[in-house]
Structure 1
């Protein structure tokens, strides 16, 4: 816990678009024209990793960073001096993978604790069903599919608790669903009807007798289910701007208190236009406390043909000072927990299963070349080594055909398992590698799913050493609030142990530990390079804001 304690005790993140962070005092005084931070350690994140002792800011511009003596020539009577001796001054953190915007559409949905056990989740469901007798549908989030082993969760456990209302529970990764029998019946889903849609059939799990279990193992099945359910059950609660703001303002304030100044939202549950309207209104009212970059998500290859056009519509209709839609999000595979992450070799104990491949190599390559030629940035969910190779092959083709290095910024996200041969390709192809470092610890069930491959997960130090940019984010609300905290991610990324448990087992290999400096850089400078593209990356000179 030494790292976490030292960082918290002295952390003051710079909010370059609106003054300085709330951990300093007197920063709302309208009588002053600027501020001078004197003393402490100012992490500049420049190429030499310079640590300065003073920073002077006039208006919203940083005019000097360096030693205290030279800073004095920039001082005047109307500049407020703030003594920061013993404190750590950092650029604002950028969360490069989150779902924070759509995390609270229905504030009273059931939320499980991912570290509980199966009986705990069932008991929480029992209490919830009794507490909300008038709800027409039971929605929940946060169970761990790994707890159920290869068989996965079964609808019979839910039927015993609630059989008269649909029950739809998402796992803590948001990539599998656990539903009761009534949900399948309301959607008209049987083995016979699934035969009509072979592209989704494989993702409705079956037991040893071939019967449906109520476990949906991937987005193909999830979107198929929701397309078949009655509309009255799938429409989310209507929210106006103020009602939405009332729900999220405490969370947003908490994020600001952590030093977060910008957020990349990896998708808004397919409601990007709805949330775009709300966020634009909040920004114009001065209520958006950080910059947000959104995406247009594509989970089904049938939607590739209109993806660029839809992103452009979002960019045209929903853009403000602190909001823009900057990329197309492609979900290339599933998760290790559900055995749907795309692997080069089969999962342990199942020689027939190499996981999910939502887009064929051919379709993926065609689309990446097309989007890259149009100047569109791509952000791709890729957990397995096969999926990652396919994505890198597609980007390589696009780079070669379009000569696009330096003009588009493509990112692969999560990257639990990357083949050794593909590690140097991130730097070679100018591809950003994104991860959530708090996951870089031993996870029960991964060894059972992957065998010996579980000892070579998260090879981000190797990627950094090739010269590639590695960036970090929370994937909130996956695994609750803890991943939102940058210093928690920094601790686990550095130790490869569970947060706050220095005696816990180290995730192998040990040489994949990231340095604290690398982790800070991935939350600040390199994240800014992704967010605004390298041509405009002037903030490292401390002369302007992150945009």
Structure 2
């Protein structure tokens, strides 16, 4: 007798050898059998529970290959400026938080994006925060997490003034009189961030629960998470009490923290994969540059709309190389944030040097984002066995302004997903939540259409760089599993693999791409247990 049988459905296995089925049997959290309705009929009749899919689509649960999970959950409880496109609305949201906050206490949040403003495309200023929060220190992170916006009170508490020097890898933005405007680029934001009181345990637990709820309603069953040490502790606490409903592959900090993970991992003999199938150490994560939206991504040539500016490096080649080599030597996967073409070259150079010194052919090192890259460096990905970790949801709005930022020649190699795939690069897909929504449907839609959420422009932008629907689905399932050395346990549906599923009202491979955004998620199942149900059919019995 098995625990559960799903039948009468459209089952997408993501396994090219047997891509379709109608029924799946589950026992003790694993797939017991998969096949046609007739083949599993005897198991269905004897199962503890049988669920009629009634034509719905069941497929492997989505694996988000790039998140900031607890931070994302906490952003839902703080001042949330995601999607806000006017200064008046930003100020209103801050003012609302002021009303419920004691004088002198910090107000924090994130999500603003000055490139999406409809009133005026301009950086915000401290004065615009001072108007609504004169008695509170305020710090609000940009949507990309690489820029901060602070009011005068917060700047004063951090000791940031006219004569303050820019830190390495960062910049204090100043007005024409040399006064700080309140915008802090890259490492400069740490000057304020480091004095913001740490959230207490109750707030962080509330944030993680909000994040888990968000993942469940979007069909996300595993994450590759940019996890600081305190988040790994929190994941373990939730797991001990049975409340963890996503599997966590940690992209742990290797730079810009008091205690980087590399040496402690080496000291205890922990290689990539150390842990179990719920929480494990994945890659050592380092950020090499900033972002295109804030013009801090490191570029080989100046920005087309900001001559003289080539962005910001957050680490030097001389600092990076020994870290990458030592990690590679000890079989610790590397994940390098590199958005600009100069940062991509730095990342590739460092990994190539390490591979020439120490033999580890199946390293699966990865570079995160690679939004602008030279053709020559792109070809180095498959040559070196490097994964391109892509976030198509960034392109929803970035493609609107990217040509003005990098010019007509470099734009041909921007968000070049098809070019990566065509030369044999392994990819994985993620959202970068809370930089973008955790909803994988947005990334799948953008991968295929390269259009805005409103369907414009007709035909998409640089559609020649789009992915097929099958490639996009693989990016969120089997390819993401491969990127964390877990392809034998999840990412496809086969006997013995985890019973981690998402149930969709429609077959994403059969509907018009414009419908992908609104494709209903009916249920999310993790290890055979329903963690989200849109209707009573899938609710826990």
- TM-score (norm. length: structure 2): 0.82
Answer yes or no: is the 8 Å Cα contact 2:64–2:224 preserved in 1: yes
Corresponding residue of 1:543? 496
Q: Report deviation, 1:405.
A: 1.9
Which one is further off, 528-537 or 281-290? 528-537
Which one is further off, 527-536 or 430-439? 527-536
The 8 Å contact of residues 85 and 116 in structure 2, kept in 1 or not, is answered as no
CA contact (8 A) 2:3 2:27 kept: yes
User: Which deviates more from structure 2 when the two are superposed, residues 88-97 or residues 463-472?
Assistant: 463-472
The equivalent position to 1:238 in structure 2, one of 165, 188, 200, is 200
Out of 398, 419, 423, the residue aligned to residue 466 of structure 1 is: 423
1:379 aligns with 2:335: yes
Aligned pair 1:213/2:166, yes or no? no
- SS of structure 2 residue aligned to 1:192: coil
Q: Distance in 2 between matches of 1:542 and 1:340?
A: 47
Superposition pairs of residues 520-535 of structure 1, within 5 angstroms: 520-533=473-486
Q: Distance in 2 between matches of 1:165 and 1:250?
A: 26
Q: Is the 8 A contact 1:283 1:321 kept in 2?
A: no
Which residue, 108, 132, 155 being the options, matches 1:184? 155
Alignment of 1:54-69 (within 5 A): 54-69=23-38
What does residue range 277-292 of structure 1 map to in structure 2 within 5 Å? 277-292=233-248
For the pair 1:224 / 2:191, whether they are aligned, the reply is yes
C-alpha deviation, 1:354, in angstroms: 0.8
Provide structure 2 residue ranges, at least 5 long, that are not aligned to the other structure: 501-526, 528-541
Which range moves more in the overlay, 84-93 or 154-163?
154-163
2:249 corresponding residue in structure 1: 293
**Residues 17-166 of structure 1 correspond to what in structure 2 (within 5 A)?**
33-48=2-17, 50-72=19-41, 77-78=46-47, 80-105=49-74, 108-146=77-115, 152-166=123-137
Q: Residue 262 in 1 paired to residue 217 in 2?
A: no
The change in CA–CA distance for 1:314 and 1:90 in structure 2 (over 3 A counts) is farther
Pairwise CA distance, 1:85: 4.4
Kept in 1, the 8 Å contact 2:73–2:211? The answer is no
Structure 2 contact 109–140 (Cα < 8 Å) conserved: yes
- C-alpha distance 212-147 of structure 1, shift in aligned 2 (>3 A): farther
What SS does the aligned partner of 1:217 have?
A: strand
Q: Please list the CA deviations of residues 98-127 of structure 1 after superposition, one character each: whole Å capped at 9, or x if unmatched.
A: 112233458752111334222321233233
**Helix, strand or coil at the partner of 1:103:** helix
- How far did residue 336 of structure 1 move? 1.0
Gaps of 5+ in 1: 1-31
Higher alpha-carbon deviation: 132-141 or 340-349: 132-141
RMSD: 3.0
Distance 1:179 1:276, change over 3 A: same
In the TM superposition, residue 244 of structure 1 has moved relative to its aligned partner by 4.6
- From the superposition, tell whether residues 527 and 315 of structure 1 become closer, same or farther in structure 2 (CA, over 3 Å): farther
Residues 277, 315 of structure 1: CA spacing in aligned structure 2 closer, same or farther, 3 A cutoff? farther
Q: Is the 8 A contact 1:94 1:528 kept in 2?
A: yes
- Aligned residue for 2:512? none
Question: Which of 156, 168, 173 in structure 2 is aligned with 1:199?
Answer: 168
Partner of 1:18: none
User: 2:450 matched to 1:496?
Assistant: yes
The secondary structure found in structure 2 opposite 1:292 is: strand
- Distance, in Å, in 1 between the alignment partners of 2:217 and 2:191 is 40
Q: 1:376 Cα shift?
A: 0.9
Contact kept, 8 Å, 1:147 with 1:445, in 2: the verdict is no
How many angstroms apart in 1 are the aligned matches of 2:209 and 2:268? 24
Q: 1:213 to 1:315 in 2, by over 3 A?
A: farther
The CA deviation at 1:440 is 2.5
* Structure 1 residue 186 displacement after superposition: 1.7
Q: Is the 8 A contact 2:224 2:250 kept in 1?
A: yes
Note the C-alpha offset of 1:355: 0.6
Asked if the contact 2:168–2:314 (Cα under 8 Å) also holds between the matched residues in 1, the reply is no
| Residues 261 and 289 in structure 1, CA contact (< 8 A), matched pair in contact too | yes
Aligned residues of 1:415 and 1:435 also touching (Cα < 8 A): yes
Q: Deviations over 1:333-389 (max 9, x none)?
A: 101111100112110133321111112223222221111111111112111111112
1:182 & 1:254 partners in 2: Cα distance?
Answer: 34
Matches within 5 A, 1:297-446: 297-300=253-256, 306-311=260-265, 322-406=278-362, 408-443=363-398, 444-446=400-402
* TM-score, with structure 1 as normaliser: 0.81
Deviation track 1:149-203 (CA, whole Å, cap 9, x = no partner) reads: 8963222222333333322111111110111222222222234341xx6525x51
1:463: how far off?
A: 0.9
Higher relative contact order (CA 8 A, sep 6+): 2
Decide whether the 8 Å contact of 1:126 with 1:161 is kept in 2: yes
1:175 to 111, 124, 146: 146
Deviation per residue, 1:285-329 (Å, 9 max, x gap): 1111111122322443x969x54124568998x956622232211
Q: Identify the match of residue 476 of structure 1 among 433, 448, 454.
A: 433
The answer to whether the 8 A contact 2:70-2:211 is kept is no
